[in-house]
A = this chain, B = another copy of it.
Amino acid sequence: MTYVESICIKAKAASRDLAVLGTACKDKALLAMADSFENNADLLKTENSKDLEAAKAAGITSAMLKRLELTDKKIAQMADGVRQIAALRDPVGETIEGYIRPNGMEVRKVRVPIGVIGIIYESRPNVTADAAALCLKSGNAVILRGGKEAINSNLAIAKLIQDAADKAGVPEGAVQIIETTDRAAANELMKMKPYIDCLIPRGGKGLIQTVVENSTIPVIEHGDGNCHMYIDDSADIEMANNLAFNAKVQNPSVCNAMETLLVSEKIAAEFLPGMCTRYAEARVEIRGCRKTREIFPQTIPATDEDYETEFLDLIVAIRVVSGVEEAISHIEKYGSRHTEAIVTSDLNNAKLFTSRIDAAAVFVNVSTRFTDGYEFGKGAEMGISTQKLHARGPMGLEEITTYKYVVYGDGQVRG
């Protein structure tokens, strides 16, 4: 039996007991974990400093270093996230739907855990805590496989989680971490269909593609975010400016940042000069269509490739369109079905946009940056699904559950 297989077998065994574990025990473990993160902040920072040193030596970008770093503030946020998950209602056992059939059978659709969830992720060590806490609360066993750049941090966090879970009486094997970061172990994990019910890749495009192509286990895909914001003729100019600025600039490196700004030609001359000036002042590189460049000449010409690209950087493509219909067509052609927003005060256009756009999240007068488990009230997230089956958008507790039909009768037979 290989190392990965032994982990999988333990997880499968634990999942049977976890499925019927009481809420009180799970919440006790979660609160103990949160306390443990804070009480052991120095230990976590010491282990994290090993990762930071290795990362610096490997010459990673300062943006990546920032994501990797565990500060007191981040540790407190991590603990707070776990406490929030403890405070959420236990999804297990919820009757999603229930009714009595004409023959007297009482049919209930009851929420249950999926079983064993594998998560393969990169960089940010807080994912270790978020994923473990979400899986525990939802009664799933979890196998964590973090990236090599955060291995010391991840192992330290996982150890605190396991100790807290043990003391609270959570079955052994509920939360496990793959202690090696070699690729062979990850590849082996992707083939463990008899033990793992669902695999969630969370990270860059390369990671997700590798998992989708190699996994024999059903995958919940956390895909690209080529997100758009469309400024309608009827938009409030100041609101539109603030939304388009926030969507691009507040955190450009994440999947819910806006990549292309679409502007109605009826409002372009009024809207674009102020917007582009503000972008330029924030050092955002603007790649504009012909009409954009007529209005704001200090702009690089936008290409078709720009419209296809998730920049994940301080770069924005701007295109002037004839109105909401052309905006919808552009998004249909280039969008990645993640988050699409309209800024408008016209009810018909809001309705047309929300009904026509096929994406996980469709926003009216809200920054694209809000597609996020925490912002949606889910406490934390396992990732953001851009696929249509099972879960779409931010995945919190409910999204890592399934259901079974429980039917009570008094001897019904089929005629």
Contact = CB atoms under 8 A, between A and B. Distances in A.
Nearest to A345: B410
A133 interface: no
Interface stretch (A124-132, A274-282, A351-359): A351-359
Given A115-B358, A388-B114, A392-B404, A409 B363 contact: yes
Contact of A405 (B101, B361, B415): B361
Contacts of A245: 413
Interface string A316-353: 00000000000000001000000000000000001000
A99 interface: yes
A360 interface: yes
Contact of A409 (B107, B365, B415): B365
Given A389-B220, A389-B389, A414 B105 contact: no
A296 interface: no
A359 B407 contact: no
A350 B406 CA distance: 10
A241 to B, nearest CB: 10
Interface stretch (A39-47, A154-162, A263-271, A367-375): A367-375
A312 interface: no
A358 B414 contact: no
Contacts of A371: 405
A3 interface: no
A26 to B, nearest CB: 15
Given A358-B19, A404-B361, A197 B388 contact: yes
Contacts of A354: 406
Interface string A377-399: 10000000001111011000000
A204 interface: no
B377 A101 contact: yes
Interface in A202-223: 218, 220
B20 A356 contact: yes
Given A376-B107, A411-B236, A389 B390 contact: yes
A412 interface: yes
Contact of A243 (B198, B356, B407, B411): B411
Contacts of A242: 411, 413
Contacts of A359: 404
A364 interface: yes
A239 to B, nearest CB: 4
Nearest to A361: B405
Given A101-B377, A369-B414, A375-B101, A114 B389 contact: yes
A105 B404 CA distance: 33
Given A243-B411, A413-B243, A413-B246, A392 B403 contact: yes
A370 B104 CA distance: 12
A362 interface: yes
Interface of A: 16, 19-20, 99, 101, 105, 107, 112, 114-115, 197-198, 218, 220, 236, 239, 242-243, 245-246, 250-251, 332, 350, 354-356, 358-367, 369-371, 375-377, 387-390, 392-393, 402-415
Closest 8 CB pairs of A and B: A366-B409, A246-B413, A369-B414, A239-B411, A390-B390, A389-B390, A361-B405, A388-B402
26 contacts: A20-B356, A112-B358, A114-B388, A114-B389, A115-B358, A242-B413, A243-B411, A250-B414, A251-B414, A354-B406, A358-B404, A360-B405, A362-B406, A362-B407, A365-B408, A365-B410, A366-B411, A369-B413, A369-B414, A370-B407, A370-B412, A376-B405, A390-B390, A392-B403, A392-B405, A393-B405
